[in-house]
Amino acid sequence: MVTDGEDVKVTWKANTDPLQKVADILQAGNYADGISLLELFLSDDPNDTTVLFNLGMAYSNRGELDRSIELLQKLIDKEPEHTNGLVALGVALLRANKTEEGINELQAAVSQEPGNVWARRNLGAGLMQAGRSTDALEHLRRAVELKADDAAAWFGYGQALQLNGDWRQADEAYRKALDLDEFGEIAERARAALTALAEKSFRGDTQSLRMDAVMYLLGALEKFENLSPEQVRQIGFEIAMLGTRGLDVNSPETKYTLKSLEGNFSGLHLVCIEYAAFKQFAPEQNIGFDLRAEYESALKLFGGSKTVPQVGLDERES
């Protein structure tokens, strides 16, 4: 076979579905080869709805949205009841910032198949994109009811809850997404959302100092006076690792423990200890939670001009 002037050698094993092979290629992230093969299949049969669907999806994922929309619209014209095709077309339209058109296709998909999680989740995303977070909430709630192990649905549900002012349930939804996808892309987004939500909840509507945080920071500085730089570093890193699971800074419950430090701690207490620790051995490091004002006040209470020992470069690298 030949495409774009280059020979493409394709070898299939007996009794192997060629489209499954292409799906494996695309799943591995090799969109160039996968799309080339699908275009060849389409040239053999321009009306093959399975190829139209997969090729439209591949172009959408690669960001070639005009071609994706063209192929997926052709699919729907030929097979109006193709629910996943409607969803794929809706997603491509949303990605192309044709928000209302995308919502229309996704609403049609939900009408055809109310139990389609993919349709519900993406309709929710489209409605949020349109600024209709209240409407989005219904579909994202339904998505997590239909598929409780869908991390993306839980993350979207958290976003909708947050936009609707329900910070507590949003926090729970983000944590659920993190539990389901601890090391994936959704996890990174969930961690960032949890941090932003925690900081916003922490500050509330005021910019005044949080004296509880000041006292936690002061306590950490006093504790560190009697510890070696290596011990301080261990404490900071242990809390940082614990924080990848999300620390609940808005609950007063002392539900956390450390191996490197005795006691039971609230989420806010641990964040304050982490902040003070990193200020000593990695002062430029951003832990993702802004306690600058509270830390400055804690330093003054600690002794004004009193120098807080810091770990030097040689010590860090030894």
- Count CB-CB contacts under 10 A for residue 121: 27
Reported pTM: 0.70
Indicate the residue type of 49: T
Q: Residue 199 has what pLDDT?
A: 77
Please tell me the predicted confidence (pLDDT) of residue 304.
54
Q: What domains are defined for the chain?
A: 2-203 (1.25.40.10), 211-317 (no CATH)
Query: What distance in Å separates the CA atoms of residue 104 and residue 108, rounded to the nearest whole number?
Result: 6
Instruction: State the Cα–Cα distance between residues 306 and 252, nearest whole angstrom.
Output: 31
Q: What is the pLDDT confidence band of residue 2, given thresholds at 50, 70 and 90? A: very low
Rounded-to-integer distance, Cα 246 and Cα 257, Å: 14
Q: Are 72 and 52 in contact (CB under 8 A)?
A: yes
Per-residue pLDDT tens digits for 212-267: 999 999 999 999 999 999 999 999 999 999 887 778 887 889 999 999 999 999 99
Report the phi/psi class of residue 64: left, alpha or beta, with left for phi > 0 and alpha for psi in -120 to 50.
Answer: beta
Tell me which amino acid residue 172 is. Answer: E
- Mean model confidence pLDDT for the chain: 87
Question: pLDDT band at 6, cuts 50/70/90?
Answer: very low
Per-residue pLDDT tens over the stretch 9-57 = 444 444 457 888 888 888 888 888 989 999 999 999 999 999 999 999 9
pLDDT range class, residue 140, cuts 50, 70, 90: very high
Residues 164-221 have pLDDT tens digits of 989 889 999 999 999 998 888 898 899 888 888 887 777 766 667 889 999 999 999 9
- pLDDT value for 205: 60
- For residues 65 and 94, what is the distance between their CA atoms, to the nearest angstrom? 10
Q: Tell which residue, 137, 90, 97, has the closest CA to residue 111.
A: 90
